[in-house]
Amino acid sequence: MSDLPLNDLVACHECDLLMRKPQLAHGEKAECPRCGYELYAHRHNVVERSLALVIAALLLYVPANFLPIMQLHLLGQSSQDTVWSGVVGLY
C-alpha cells in the first residue's frame, strides 16, 4: 500500500495507469508514459482567450439571429427566413 495521499496521484484517462501528479513549468505538458495521452498542459492566457470568445459571441448573437439565413424561391414567390422566424414558426 502506498503512503502517497490521493491528491498526489493521477490516473490516465485512456489506459488507467496510476502515477504521481506532475509538476509543470510554464508551457510544458505531461503525457502518459504508457500510451502517450496528454494528461495535463500548462496553457497560458486561458481566461483572456475565453473572455475574447465570449465577447465575440455576444457581438455576433444579434446579427446571427435576426439576419436571414435562408432564402427560398418557389413558383415565383420569394421568402427569407431567420433563426428567430423559425423559432416563432415552431411555437
Grid cell at residue 63: 446579427
Query: Across all residues in the chain, what is the average pLDDT?
Result: 86
pLDDT at residue 66 tops 80: yes
Over residues 33-61, the mean pLDDT reads 89
| pLDDT value of residue 72 | 85
pLDDT score recorded for residue 23: 84
Average pLDDT score over residue span 57-81: 87
pLDDT over 70 for what percent of the chain?
Answer: 98
Integer Cα distance of 13 and 31 in angstroms: 11
